[in-house]
């Protein structure tokens, strides 16, 4: 990959990174030479200017007619002005050189980073080409076997796509080692389906939008001897609910953010009255539920026999929850006290999820998920946030608990800090930074994850995440690497040794690992996502109306529903009504001197592992849903 520049003659000539670096150094040398020439000229101007002034002064001292004296005086003044101007010019040139030298090191770092990125891209393309040719060669040489692959997981029609390739067969050495082609190959698949699908070529990750919105986790890919892919739809029955794949486009309304935020610096975000213009049509409870986007990682972890491999998958799951935030700079709705949100995917994915807003100041939500596939997750998250003028810091407080039923492995971790930049000026962008420690409290195995903050001058990959999985004795077994907005890979450590000292004098450990294995890969966003608040496929379904939910469910919140429909003025009025209603209920509760608000579905308990007292699920919600008895629900909308 070459970068091209246009020369003075108008011809295009390719230049490499080293050529560009040498060109910059040459330019700086030329600037210094030219400045030296200007300095010489300045000395000559000063010398001759001073001589000219002396001559003019002597001429002015002679007795000459009055008219001639005035002319000599005028010439003398102009000579003085010329000397001052030339000195100013030389000083400006010297300042320019100093500035160029100051920034040259930064240019060098930027150029070096671009060169490394180019080399990495070339290596990646070469690797993909090898995998492509390897697959094609294997496909050509494979024996013809029966195309029917029995599968015990088939519960409806099987969709059988065929692998197609372009290009010539490769003469690569047969002993060359390649990565797993099923995960990394750029092959295309032609899907043949009987319901609402047409013949089209899509990438494996693109199958999501092709098959009527069914998520990738709903499919298994089977490979038979004739190199045909048999794509089997799992656990979806023919009468399964079809989820929506789009919402109304976001209206293009302008609003002056500074007029609202200038008086809010230093305040808690939850206490700032905000119009819906800065929201997205989801509540914080629904955003919390989005952590389950990649629930199949936990399904897979539940089947792991090795607790260390299981910990790798748990770590990948903890990172995956941030992948939806890369473009999601809008603020979710603050839930009303007692508001709930359920996500019942028992028939589809084997789990049921329930959230409830258990506190308003500080805002806190409790979340409980139970899966028939061998795991239970629960958490209570309190959001602490501060507006600092240029950026907004969001600090989730509280522990996340995950327990696997068969092994009893109990994992605990906490979330990192999210930062929204360019609040006042510029394009909003979000970053994640900090450390996560995941601890298996049964085996004492740990995983240390580091989210590197973004830096313009850093050579590191943006949004980088690194981690080490260690046993109870502190010995490292796996290295995790990737980015929180794309993928996470694990590499098994085969040998470790002590390396040289780092910049802070600490001795570094060098790990020798096997080839990386893909643990998690982000799903592509749906079509037109940029006009639908950058919602993922799961997020598009979270506010879809459903029958039989609790009377306090976020789907029934009128201001949020109006905003989703694009009726923002009405949504703002409804939002103010609901907030005033909530304040009135709080004042009445204080006047009656009651014990305060008590959540409907969660109660306080002290956790034996962390020692923290928080709200956990006490049961009863799903039984109430089955009987459709919501008499115990408080009217909050």
Q: How many beta carbons lie within 10 A of that of residue 567, not counting itself?
A: 17
**Are the C-beta atoms of residues 269 and 387 closer than 8 Å to each other?**
yes
| Residue carrying structure tokens 């930074």 | 433
Per-residue pLDDT, averaged over 188-196, amounts to 33
d(CA 601, CA 623): 11
Evaluate if residue 30 carries a pLDDT over 60. yes
- Residue 229: what pLDDT? 38
Average confidence (pLDDT) over 357-375: 95
Could you report the per-residue pLDDT of 612-622, keeping only the tens digit for each?
Answer: 899 999 999 99
Mean pLDDT of 226-252: 62
- The span from the CA of 300 to the CA of 451, in Å, is 24
Residue 209 banded pLDDT, cuts 50, 70, 90 = very low
Contact 76/53 with Cβ under 8 angstroms?
yes
Tell me the CA distances in angstroms from 472 to 254, 364, 441, 477, one per residue in order: 55, 33, 10, 11
CA 294 to chain centre: 15
What number is the average pLDDT over the span 363-369? 96
Q: Is the pLDDT of residue 393 over 80?
A: yes
User: What pLDDT score was predicted for residue 143?
Assistant: 53
- Percent over 70 (pLDDT), the chain: 74
Q: In this predicted structure, what is the pLDDT of residue 20?
A: 57
Distance (Å, rounded) from C-alpha 353 to C-alpha 286?
Answer: 10
Over range 255-275, report the average pLDDT. Answer: 62
- The count of other CB atoms within 10 Å of the CB of residue 561 is 18
Q: Is the pLDDT of residue 326 over 80?
A: yes
The pair of structure tokens assigned to 559 is: 């201001």
Residue 22 is predicted with a pLDDT of 66
pLDDT of residue 118: 84
Task: Determine the Cα angle at 559 with ends 558 and 561, to 5°.
Answer: 65
Q: Is the dihedral of CA 595, 596, 600, 603 positive or negative?
A: negative
Q: Once rounded to an integer, what is the mean pLDDT over residues 452-464?
A: 88
Tens digit of each residue's pLDDT (9 = 90 or more) over 547-603: 999 999 999 999 999 999 999 999 999 999 999 999 998 888 888 876 678 999 999
pLDDT at site 240:
60
- Residue 122: the pLDDT is 81
pLDDT in the model for residue 270:
55
Supply the pLDDT for residue 628.
96
Residue 23 has pLDDT above 80, yes or no: no
Out of 72-81, 122-131, 167-176, give the one with best mean pLDDT: 122-131
Q: How far is CA 618 from the centre of its chain?
A: 34
Tokens representing 177? 């080692």
What is the reported pLDDT for 27? 72
pLDDT at residue 169, as a whole number: 39
**Does residue 538 carry a pLDDT above 80?**
yes
Note the pTM of the prediction, 2 decimals. 0.64
Burial of 590 (0-12, 13-18, 19+ CB in 10 A): exposed
3-state SS record for 212-261: CCCCHHHEEEEECCCCCEEEEEECCCCCCCCCCCCCCCCCCCCCCHHHHH
* pLDDT computed for residue 241 by the predictor: 76
Query: Does the pLDDT value for residue 521 go beyond 80?
Result: yes
How would DSSP label each residue in 57-100?
A: HHHHHS---HHHHHHHHHHHHHHHHHHHHHHHHHHHHHHHHHHH
Our measurement of the distance from residue 132's CA atom to the centroid of its chain's CA atoms, rounded to an integer in Å, reads 29
Looking at residue 500, what is its pLDDT? 64
Distance of CA 322 to the CA centre of its chain: 6
**DSSP secondary structure string for all residues of 457-499:** T--SPTTEEEEEEE-TTS-EEEEEEEETTTEEEEEEEEEEEEE
Angle at 321 between CA 317 and CA 322, to 5 degrees: 125
Task: Let me know: does 467 contact 450? Beta carbons within 8 Å.
Answer: yes
What is the mean predicted confidence (pLDDT) over 368-388?
93
Query: Is pLDDT of 483 > 80?
Result: yes
Q: Is the pLDDT of residue 76 over 80?
A: no
3-state secondary structure of 439: strand
Q: Please enumerate in sequence order all residues whose Cβ is within 8 A of that of 635, keeping only pairs 6 or more positions apart, or say none.
A: 551
Predicted confidence at residue 317, as pLDDT, reads 98
Whole-number pLDDT of residue 448: 97
Extract the tokens encoding 432.
Answer: 């994640």
Tell me what the pLDDT averaged over the chain comes to: 78
Collect all residues with Cβ–Cβ distance below 8 Å to 540 and sequence separation of at least 6: 243, 244, 245, 246, 247, 526, 532
- The structure tokens listed for 35 are 């400045």
**Which of 201-210, 280-289, 570-579, 617-626 is predicted with the least confidence, judged by mean pLDDT?**
201-210
Are 467 and 317 within 8 A, CB to CB?
A: no
């Amino acid at each position: 990959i070459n970068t091209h520049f246009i020369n003075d003659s108008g011809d295009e000539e390719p230049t490499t990174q080293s050529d560009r670096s040498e060109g910059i150094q040459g330019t700086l040398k030329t600037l210094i030479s030219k400045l030296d020439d200007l300095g010489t000229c300045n000395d000559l101007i000063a010398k001759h200017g001073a001589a000219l002034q002396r001559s003019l002064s002597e001429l002015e001292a002679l007795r000459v007619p009055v008219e001639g004296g005035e002319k000599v005086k005028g010439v003398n003044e102009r000579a003085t002005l010329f000397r001052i101007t030339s000195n100013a010019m030389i000083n400006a040139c010297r300042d320019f050189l100093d500035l160029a030298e100051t920034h040259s090191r930064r240019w060098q770092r930027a150029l070096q980073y671009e060169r490394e990125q180019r080399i990495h891209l070339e290596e990646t393309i070469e690797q993909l080409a090898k995998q492509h040719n390897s697959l094609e060669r294997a496909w050509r040489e494979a024996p013809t076997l029966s195309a029917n692959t029995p599968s015990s997981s088939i519960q409806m029609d099987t969709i059988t796509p065929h692998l197609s390739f372009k290009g010539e067969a490769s003469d690569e050495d047969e002993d060359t080692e390649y990565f797993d082609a099923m995960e990394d190959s750029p092959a295309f698949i032609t899907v043949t389906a009987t319901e609402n699908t047409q013949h089209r070529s899509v990438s494996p990750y693109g199958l999501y939008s092709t098959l009527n919105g069914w998520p990738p986790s709903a499919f298994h890919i089977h490979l038979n001897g004739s190199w045909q892919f048999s794509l089997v739809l799992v656990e979806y029955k023919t009468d399964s609910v079809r989820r929506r794949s789009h919402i109304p486009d976001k209206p293009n309304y302008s609003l002056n953010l500074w007029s609202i935020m200038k008086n809010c610096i230093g305040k808690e975000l939850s206490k700032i009255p905000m119009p819906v213009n800065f929201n997205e049509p989801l509540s914080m409870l629904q955003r919390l539920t989005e952590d389950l986007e990649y629930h199949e990682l936990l399904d897979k972890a539940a089947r792991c026999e090795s607790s260390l491999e299981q910990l790798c998958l748990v770590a990948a799951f903890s990172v995956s929850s941030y992948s939806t935030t890369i473009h999601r700079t809008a603020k979710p709705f603050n839930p009303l006290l007692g508001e709930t949100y359920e996500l019942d995917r028992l028939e589809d994915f084997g789990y049921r999820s329930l959230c409830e807003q258990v506190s308003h100041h500080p805002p806190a939500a409790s979340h409980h998920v139970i899966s028939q596939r061998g795991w239970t997750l629960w958490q209570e998250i309190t959001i602490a946030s501060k507006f600092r003028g240029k950026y907004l810091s969001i600090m989730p407080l509280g522990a996340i608990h995950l327990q696997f039923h068969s092994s009893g492995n109990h994992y605990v971790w906490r979330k990192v800090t999210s930062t929204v930049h360019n609040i006042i000026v510029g394009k909003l962008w979000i970053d994640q930074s900090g450390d996560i420690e995941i601890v298996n409290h049964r085996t004492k195995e740990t995983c240390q994850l580091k989210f590197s903050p973004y830096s313009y001058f850093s050579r590191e990959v943006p949004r980088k995440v690194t981690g080490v999985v260690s046993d109870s004795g502190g010995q490292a077994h796996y290295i995790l690497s990737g980015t929180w907005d794309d993928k996470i890979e694990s590499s098994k450590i085969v040998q470790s040794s002590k390396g040289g000292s780092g910049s802070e004098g600490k001795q570094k450990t060098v790990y020798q690992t096997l080839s990386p294995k893909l643990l998690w890969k982000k799903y592509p966003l749906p079509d037109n996502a940029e006009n639908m608040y950058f919602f993922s496929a799961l997020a598009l379904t979270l506010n879809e109306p459903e029958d039989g939910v609790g009377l306090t469910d976020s789907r029934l919140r009128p201001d949020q529903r109006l905003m989703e429909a694009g009726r923002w003025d009405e949504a703002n009025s409804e939002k103010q009504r609901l907030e005033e209603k909530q304040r009135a209920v709080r004042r009445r509760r204080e006047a009656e001197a009651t014990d305060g608000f008590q959540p409907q579905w969660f109660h306080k308990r002290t956790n034996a592992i962390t020692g923290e007292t928080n709200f956990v699920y006490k049961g009863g919600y799903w039984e109430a849903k089955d009987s459709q008895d919501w008499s115990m629900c408080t009217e909050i909308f």
